[in-house]
């Protein structure tokens, strides 16, 4: 299942700039691993803001919640938005069927 996530860094007054750089360096290594593994479909740093957005591919909302606690920056990130994403072609199929159940669903 795909999720759009939007995170903001909230570190002011909590850690020094040097400490932030150390944790952020660890976070960037973690991000590269998640991109290489396919867990993260894409990650982007918003220019001029203390914000990162991403699209992640996880089995469930529960797995996403667990993954958050493995982030090096977890104590300094505020998740502003978490949206489950739906494939548009699947949506288009439901529109064509007017959201009526398919034969497979009615035979259960």
State residue 63's pLDDT score.
95
Report pLDDT digits (tens) over 77-100: 999 999 999 999 989 998 999 888
pLDDT of residue 106: 72
The DSSP bridge pattern shows strands 40-45 and 2-9 to be: unpaired
3-state per-residue secondary structure call for 41-87? EEEEECCCCCEEEEEEECCCHHHHHHHHCCCCCHHHEEEEEEEEECC
CA distance 40 to 85: 14
Section 29-46 average pLDDT: 96
Residue 80 confidence (pLDDT):
97
Q: Give residue-wise pLDDT tens across range 68-78.
A: 999 999 999 99
Sketch the domain layout of the chain as residue ranges.
Answer: 2-106
As a whole number, mean pLDDT of residues 10-36 equals 95
Architecture of domain 2-106: 2-Layer Sandwich (3.30)
By the 8 A CB rule, do 41 and 57 touch? yes
- Whole-number Å distance between alpha carbons of 97 and 94: 5
Phi/psi at 34 (5° precision)? -70, -35
pLDDT of 107 over the 90 cut: no
With a pLDDT cut of 70, the percent of the chain lying above it is 95
Q: What is the mean pLDDT of residues 55-77?
A: 95
Quick one: pLDDT at residue 101?
A: 78
In this structure, the number of other CB atoms found within 10 A of the CB of residue 33 comes to: 11
Based on the number of CB atoms within 10 Å of its own CB, is 81 exposed (0-12), middle (13-18) or buried (19 or more)? Answer: exposed
Q: Which two tokens stand for residue 79?
A: 């998740």
């Amino acid at each position: 299942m795909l999720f759009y996530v939007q995170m903001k860094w909230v570190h002011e007054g909590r850690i020094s700039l040097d400490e932030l750089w150390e944790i952020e360096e660890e976070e960037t290594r973690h991000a590269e691993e998640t991109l290489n593994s396919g867990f993260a479909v894409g990650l982007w740093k918003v220019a001029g803001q203390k914000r990162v957005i991403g699209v992640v591919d996880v089995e469930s909302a529960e797995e996403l919640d667990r993954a958050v606690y493995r982030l090096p920056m977890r104590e300094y990130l505020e998740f502003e938005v978490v949206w489950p994403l739906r494939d548009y072609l699947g949506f288009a199929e439901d529109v064509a069927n007017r959201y009526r159940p398919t034969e497979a669903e009615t035979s259960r």
